[in-house]
Structure 1
Amino acid sequence: MKHLSLFLMLSLLAVAPSLLGACPQNCHCHGGDLQHVICDTAGLTKLPKVSEQTRLLNLQRNHFPVLAPNAFKEMKGLVSLHLQYCKIKEVTSGAFKGLKRLVYLYLSNNEISILGVGAFDELTELTYLYMDHNKIIDLPKGLFSPLFNLFILQLSSNKVRDLKPGTFNGAKDLRWLYLSDNEITNMQPGSLDEVENLAIFHLDGNQLTSYPLAAISKLRVVEDLKISRNPIKLIPDFAFQSFGRYMESLSMENMGVEKFSDKAFVGVTTLKKLNIEGNKLNQLPNNAPYATLQSIMLTGNSWHCSCQLASLRRWMDNSRSRPNATCASPSQYRGQQLKDTGAFRACKQPVKKSKKGERH
Structure 2
Amino acid sequence: KSAPAMLRISFFLLTLVTSALSGPCPQSCHCHGDLQHVICDNVGLKRIPKVTEQTKLLNLQRNHLPVLPSNGFSSMKGLVSLHLQYCHIKEVSSQAFKGLKKLVYLYLSNNEISIIKSSAFEDLTELTYLYMDNNKIIDIPKGLLSPLINLFILQLSMNSIRELRPGVFSGAKDLRWLHLTSNEINTIHPGSLDDIENLAVFHLDNNQLTTYPSAAMSKLRVVEELKLSQNPMKVIPDNAFQSFGRYVEKIFLDAMGLEKLSDGAFNGVTALKSLHIENNKLTTLPSNLVFTSLQNMTLHGNPWQCNCNLAHLRRWMDSNRLRPAAVCASPSRYRGQQVRDTAAFSGCRLKIRRAKKRGLF
Q: CA deviation at 1:42?
A: 1.0
Q: Mark the CA change 1:84 to 1:246 in structure 2 (over 3 Å): closer, same or farther.
A: same
Q: Which residue of 2 aligns with 1:26?
A: 28
Q: CA deviation at 1:288?
A: 1.2
Q: CA deviation at 1:16?
A: 11
What does 1:59-138 align with in structure 2 at a 5 Å threshold? 59-138=60-139
TM-score, normalised to structure 1, is 0.92
Aligned residue pairs total: 342
**Distance in 1 between residues matched to 2:43 and 2:21, nearest whole Å:** 22
Q: Which residue of 2 aligns with 1:163?
A: 164
Greater than 6 Å deviation, 4+ residue runs: 13-16
In structure 2, give the amino acid aligned to 1:325: A
The CA deviation string for residues 94-142 of structure 1, in whole angstroms up to 9 with x for no partner, is 0000000000000000000001111101100000000000000010000
**Distance in 2 between residues matched to 1:68 and 1:240, nearest whole Å:** 43
Give secondary structure in 2 for the equivalent of 1:245.
coil
**Distance in 1 between residues matched to 2:99 and 2:17, nearest whole Å:** 32
Q: Mark the CA change 1:156 to 1:287 in structure 2 (over 3 Å): closer, same or farther.
A: same
Q: Structure 1 stretches of 5 or more lacking a match?
A: 1-6, 352-360
Q: Which residue of 1 aligns with 2:3?
A: none
1:50 lines up with 2:51 in the alignment = yes
What does 1:1-360 align with in structure 2 at a 5 Å threshold? 17=19, 20-32=22-34, 34-348=35-349
Q: Structure 2 stretches of 5 or more lacking a match?
A: 1-8, 354-361
**Distance in 2 between residues matched to 1:113 and 1:327, nearest whole Å:** 48
**Distance in 2 between residues matched to 1:192 and 1:62, nearest whole Å:** 36
CA RMSD for the aligned pairs?
A: 1.7
In structure 2, give the amino acid aligned to 1:286: S
In structure 2, give the amino acid aligned to 1:274: L
The CA deviation string for residues 309-342 of structure 1, in whole angstroms up to 9 with x for no partner, is 0000000000111000100000000000000000
Give secondary structure in 2 for the equivalent of 1:100.
coil
Q: CA deviation at 1:19?
A: 6.3
In structure 2, give the amino acid aligned to 1:23: C
Q: CA deviation at 1:20?
A: 3.5
The CA deviation string for residues 137-183 of structure 1, in whole angstroms up to 9 with x for no partner, is 01000010000000000000000001000000000000000000000
The CA deviation string for residues 26-58 of structure 1, in whole angstroms up to 9 with x for no partner, is 1101112x1000001111001010011000000
The CA deviation string for residues 279-329 of structure 1, in whole angstroms up to 9 with x for no partner, is 000010111121110000000000000000000000000011100010000
TM-score, normalised to structure 2, is 0.92
Q: CA deviation at 1:223?
A: 0.1
Give secondary structure in 2 for the equivalent of 1:299.
coil
Q: Which residue of 1 aligns with 2:359?
A: none
In structure 2, give the amino acid aligned to 1:77: G
In structure 2, give the amino acid aligned to 1:22: P
Q: CA deviation at 1:17?
A: 3.9
**Distance in 2 between residues matched to 1:217 and 1:276, nearest whole Å:** 21
Q: Which residue of 2 aligns with 1:3?
A: none
In structure 1, give the amino acid aligned to 2:248: M
**Distance in 1 between residues matched to 2:345 and 2:20, nearest whole Å:** 80
**Distance in 2 between residues matched to 1:49 and 1:69, nearest whole Å:** 14
Q: Mark the CA change 1:140 to 1:15 in structure 2 (over 3 Å): closer, same or farther.
A: closer
Give secondary structure in 2 for the equivalent of 1:348.
helix
Q: CA deviation at 1:234?
A: 0.5
